[in-house]
């Protein structure tokens, strides 16, 4: 049976014993293990059914630990870490030889971040090793934003979910790589691109072109409900295409009135992109349970977190 608990010491004991524990972060729940334990890391890949070519993110308690993991910190990486950690930015940097190849899928770079969640920060401070933690979902399904989502996915395949409540940011961290010391966005995420540009200037987004094994989280279909899902900027016309079907609607800020809609979730009545982001995955989990024929999702404004939401919805709707 999976224990859902706030007991940090129990998580410390399991992780120190080379076991894995689902942990809360501000973005999504992660499935965590000691980066130096081959046993724990293999268990993470097996439990998620994740291919070994897809590297993991290393979680550390503070920026001070960075120089133990990476060979070299470009100036702009330092600026970003200082501006956003703890927080939802992951930096991909040249790894030290001591970082196991299993974590990085054989690449010479490692993805690393300091999560902004009091429970996982406390856990990381108590452990003598960093934690590798991919999102705690089976490969390519919707990421979990509550302890219950994790439990539903893995049942008794994991011993413990460390409960930190619902994740506040709600989608994964923004991943930034470096080419010739210049930052490039590999994955849009919880830190809006404009906030990043305020620190390091104009930045290129490379995630659409990225193919495995460079940033496999950018695989075309990802973050996907089991229910057929479509993305549109014209809800009413799209509804007409599914007139005899059970339709679920996922919209930004206001309800649509149409008799053919079975269920409808408004992500932010306050027209707030942060609130919409934080509700996105919970809404997809909910709609996916409703035995719908189709989920119709509304396209978001193409700026700030709207850009990141569109990225996830585009991947969720790829067939």
Residue ranges that bind Mg ion, judged by CB under 5 A: 135
Cα 96 to Cα 108: distance, rounded to the nearest angstrom: 8
In 3D space, the residue among 296, 306, 310 whose CA is nearest the CA of residue 225 turns out to be 296
Q: Among residues 215 and 231, whose Cβ is nearest to ligand TXA?
A: 215
Which span (36-44, 55-63, 236-244, 292-300) binds ligand TXA, by CB under 6 A?
Answer: 55-63
- In the bound complex, what is the minimum distance in angstroms from residue 199's beta carbon to ligand TXA? 19
* CB closer to ligand TXA, 90 vs 279: 90
End-to-end CA distance of the chain: give it in Å, rounded. 34
> How far is CA 183 from each of CA 186, 205, 230, 306, rounded to the nearest angstrom?
9, 10, 32, 21
Residue with the shortest CB distance to ligand TXA: 217
Check residue 110 for interaction with ligand TXA (CB under 6 A). yes
Q: At a CB cut-off of 8 Å and minimum separation 6, what does 165 contact?
A: 24, 146, 147
Binding partner of 311, given Mg ion, ligand TXA, none, CB within 5-8 angstroms per partner class: none
Among 104, 141, 191, 278, binds ligand TXA (CB under 6 A): 104
SS3 of 53-72: the string is CCCCEEECCCHHHHHHHECC
Report strand pairing: 21-23 vs 30-34: antiparallel
Binding of residue 175 to ligand TXA (CB under 6 A): yes
Name the phi and psi angles at 266, rounded to 5: -95, 125
Of 73-81, 104-112, 144-152, 255-263, the window that binds ligand TXA (rule: CB under 6 A) is 104-112
- C-alpha span between 77 and 231 (Å, rounded): 34
DSSP symbols for 211-279: -TTTSGGG-SS-SB-SS-EEEES-HHHHHHHTTTS-EEEEESSSPPP-TTEEEEEES-TT--HHHHHHH
- 109 touches, from Mg ion, ligand TXA, none (C-beta below 5 to 8 Å by class): ligand TXA
Residue from 138, 216, 301, 306 touching ligand TXA (CB under 6 A): that is: 216
Which residue's structure tokens are 């978001």? 300
Beta carbon nearer to Mg ion, 68 or 221 = 221
Q: Which of 92, 131, 162, 313 binds ligand TXA (CB under 6 A)?
A: 92
Task: Figure out which of the listed residues 2, 16, 54, 286 binds ligand TXA, where binding follows CB under 6 A.
Answer: 54
188/235 with CB nearer ligand TXA: 188
The residue ranges that bind ligand TXA (CB under 6 A) are: 25, 27-28, 30, 54-57, 88, 90, 92, 104, 107, 109-111, 115, 133-135, 172-173, 175, 186-187, 214-217
């Amino acid at each position: 049976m999976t224990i859902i608990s706030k007991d940090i010491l129990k998580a410390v004991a399991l992780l120190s014993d080379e076991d894995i524990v689902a942990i809360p972060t501000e973005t999504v729940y992660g499935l965590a293990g000691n980066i130096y334990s081959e046993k724990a890391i293999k268990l993470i890949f097996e439990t998620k059914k994740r291919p070994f070519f897809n590297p993991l993110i290393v979680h550390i308690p503070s920026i001070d630990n960075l120089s133990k993991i990476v060979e070299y910190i470009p100036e702009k990486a330092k600026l970003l870490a200082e501006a956003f950690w703890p927080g939802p930015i992951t930096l991909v940097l040249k790894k030290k030889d001591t970082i196991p190849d299993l974590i990085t899928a054989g690449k010479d770079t490692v993805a690393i971040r300091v999560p902004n969640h009091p429970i996982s920060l406390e856990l990381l401070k108590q452990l003598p090793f960093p934690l590798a933690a991919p999102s705690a979902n089976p490969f390519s399904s919707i990421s979990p934003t509550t302890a219950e989502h994790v439990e539903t996915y893995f049942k008794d395949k994991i011993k413990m979910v460390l409960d930190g409540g619902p994740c506040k940011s709600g989608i994964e961290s923004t991943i930034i790589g470096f080419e010739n010391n210049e930052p490039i966005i590999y994955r849009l995420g919880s830190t809006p691109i404009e906030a990043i540009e305020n620190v390091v200037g104009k930045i290129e987004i490379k995630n659409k072109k990225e193919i495995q094994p460079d940033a496999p989280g950018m695989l075309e279909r990802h973050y996907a409900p089991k229910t057929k899902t479509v993305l549109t900027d014209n809800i009413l016309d799209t509804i007409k295409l599914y007139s005899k079907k059970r339709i679920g609607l996922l919209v930004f800020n206001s309800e649509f009135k149409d008799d053919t809609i079975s269920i409808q979730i408004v992500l932010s009545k306050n027209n707030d992109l942060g609130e919409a982001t934080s509700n996105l995955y919970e809404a997809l989990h909910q709609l996916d349970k409703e035995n719908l024929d189709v989920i119709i999702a509304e396209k978001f404004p193409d700026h700030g977190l709207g850009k990141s939401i569109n990225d996830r919805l585009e991947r969720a709707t790829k067939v």
